Amino acid sequence: MSNVSHIPSYLSAEHLGPWETFLVQIDRVEPHLAAELRPLVPILTRPMRALIVNVPIRLDNGEMAHFEGYRVQHNLSRGPGKGGIRMTATVDMEHTRRLAELMTYKCALVKIPFGGAKSAVQVDPEALTPDSRTSLIKEYAHCYQHYLVPGLYIPAPDMGTGPGDMATIYGCTHVMESVTGKPERVGGLAGRLEATGYGVAAIARMAAADVLKQDIAGCKVAVQGFGNVGQWTAIVLARAGARVVAVGDINGAALCEEGFSIEDLERSTVPELAAAHTALSVSDILFVPVDILIPAAVEGVLNEDTAGRIEARLVVEAANAPVTPEGDSALAARGITAIPDILANAGGVINIGVELDGPYDPDVARERVLGIGTTLAAVFADADARGITTFQAAMERARALITAA
């Protein structure tokens, strides 16, 4: 790894965690950048600002609890930091840093005026009562008020958080533009919940036509991850005529060879679908023979091993970083195209731009999401012309826009 000299002092070269994936990706893309931009690449190997805070709250039983919070502003050359708030029991600074970096590239690639940032609180949200959750979000807003109120960091929902939490933050800042992903009643967008899934489905449709040379109608699809993004992706694709034959989440997976009905996808949980059809294990869904595999859950599910065993012809990355660098190489060696996350799941952040522009126009929002197709076509052209993967082409394009800013 040639970027060892750029490792920040607070990380160990022996154990970099998710940040190592980022440095490997820089090594893969740097040779393809224009010569005048390469000296600027080290700027991207270090986050601009990283902060760890203590988030103390009083629980319902009167006891004090302390939770570790993280905020990373990776790069602000194109605008204020944009990125969601993640609340899980396993998130840490390394994951937050990696997710902030992905936001930098995502915003640049789709040409919206934001930099990349992310924040997180290490807590199991399911273990919190409603009152404790509200207290935690309020204390979070207090910890970061000097970044939220002036708009230096603009959060949104992510794993473990939702529109109600964003409304709580708005109630603390009293600044409409300080947070996005709010409920409609406090200035949020109609259709915000399905925006990212709609964008993933749109990309899948375009990629099916370009890569598979067939219409999305009739394509067999598996969606690994049935949260907000995965479920809406499955619903939108089914409405377009795709045959969604497998869905899965942390509880397991379900298989229906004839394709799940739209009603089933809208109203049923994965355990309910598994009980009514064929049950699969959590990992088995990756290896179902399909035209399109959509990993929409967590990072790193397609690595050198699993990427070598999938039976899909096209991968559309709905989750953040679901394919490792080794997995990307393994897919390329097998002739399987993977649409990178920084393009495939950009629908949500594009709609955030619409929310901040206001007033909301659903036609404008859809037009902007469908505009991803222009970027996708350019990425395909770059990859074909240079003999590189779509991931490398997308990252090269994003980094050129960032370093030129």
Give the residue numbers annotated as catalytic, written as ranges.
Answer: 118
Give Cα separations from 137 to 33, 128, 131, 233, 357 (angstroms).
41, 11, 10, 28, 25
Q: In whole angstroms, how far apart are CA 240 and each of 103, 234, 338?
A: 29, 10, 21
Decide: 379 and 110 in contact? Cβ < 8 Å: no
Alpha helices in 3-68 (DSSP H): 18-29
Rg of the chain over all Cα atoms, to the nearest angstrom: 20
**Which letter does DSSP use for residue 114 in this model?**
-
- Inter-residue long-range contacts of 5-14, CB under 8 Å, 24+ positions, other chains counted: 6/42, 6/45, 6/46, 7/45, 8/46, 8/47, 11/94
Query: What is the total residue count of the chain?
Result: 405
Cis peptide before 359 (omega within 30 of 0): yes
